[in-house]
Copies of this chain bind each other. A is one copy, B any other.
Amino acid sequence: MRSHINSSAPLAHEVLAAVLQVRSATLRVLLWRRALDPHVGRWSLPGGRLRPDEDVETSIRRQLAEKVDVRQLKHVEQLAVFSAPDRVPGPRVVATAFLGLVPSDVDPEIPEDTRWHEVDALPRTAFDHREIIIGARDRLRAKLSYTNVGFALAPREFTVSALRELYSAALGYKVSATNLQRVLSRRGLLAPTGHTAPPGRSGGRPAALFSFTGNGIQVTDPFAVFRPPPKRSRK
């Protein structure tokens, strides 16, 4: 009763990922069309059953490897557990949902039954997958403002205006290139590469190319208020 470990009831556990990418100034998600019985023909998130010898992150990375080259996945993080008893027909399946991010310049080979869909114009989706996608979008939006996740949406080198397009598409409203550059620079996230991008056929000054400093996600603005007392090191 108070036993900690009790595996008497079989219980299926699946992992699902909302893989997001910005392309053509829109935020899109990778979906595949179900070929099997429950909700045939609807679009659903890639994923599948958790194997007994892997943890959930290993599992989702393994399963995504069928759809997207894993090395192209710049960021993966847990979103939440979805466990409503009726979330899928038949016996209950608990799902651990993930957010995955792919840089805008990669164009992964995707299987026949798989397609990118605009997050703000989703087709009919299977089960509770729409909710998961919206959750992923909202998590991304929130984290863009206080972490450096933006790096996972951008190519290795990029112009500030390209970055502005990425942020605008992900956030859903235009951000100013001026201030984007200023804020990211102040936080020490942008490194000039010294290279420049040639202007388009209509002219214009060549844009400087930047890259993100560091690798991996980090929180860059942890406390909006109630900050801990400063360490008194920098003037």
Binding site for B on A (CB under 8 A): 2-7, 9-14, 34-36, 38, 44, 48-56, 78, 80-81, 83-85, 88, 90-94, 96, 126, 142, 144-146, 167, 171-175, 180, 183, 221-229
Contact = CB atoms under 8 A, between A and B. Distances in A.
B228 A221 contact: no
B93 A81 contact: no
A13 B14 CA distance: 12
SS class, residues of chain A in contact with chain B: loop
B10 A7 contact: yes
A183 B223 CA distance: 13
Contacts of A54: 85
A6 B49 contact: yes
Nearest to A84: B55
A7 B91 contact: yes
Contacts of A9: 10, 12, 49, 51-52
A49 B174 CA distance: 47
A11 B96 CA distance: 14
Contact of A3 (B36, B94, B142): B36
Contacts of A175: 226
B78 A81 contact: yes
13 contacts: A2-B35, A2-B48, A4-B36, A4-B88, A4-B126, A5-B90, A10-B11, A11-B12, A50-B94, A52-B85, A145-B222, A145-B225, A173-B229
Most buried by B among A9, A81, A172, A183: A81
A225 B183 contact: yes
Given A4-B88, A81-B81, 15 more contacts: A3-B36, A4-B38, A4-B44, A9-B52, A10-B10, A11-B11, A11-B12, A11-B13, A13-B94, A50-B83, A50-B94, A52-B85, A54-B85, A145-B222, A183-B225
A142 B14 contact: no
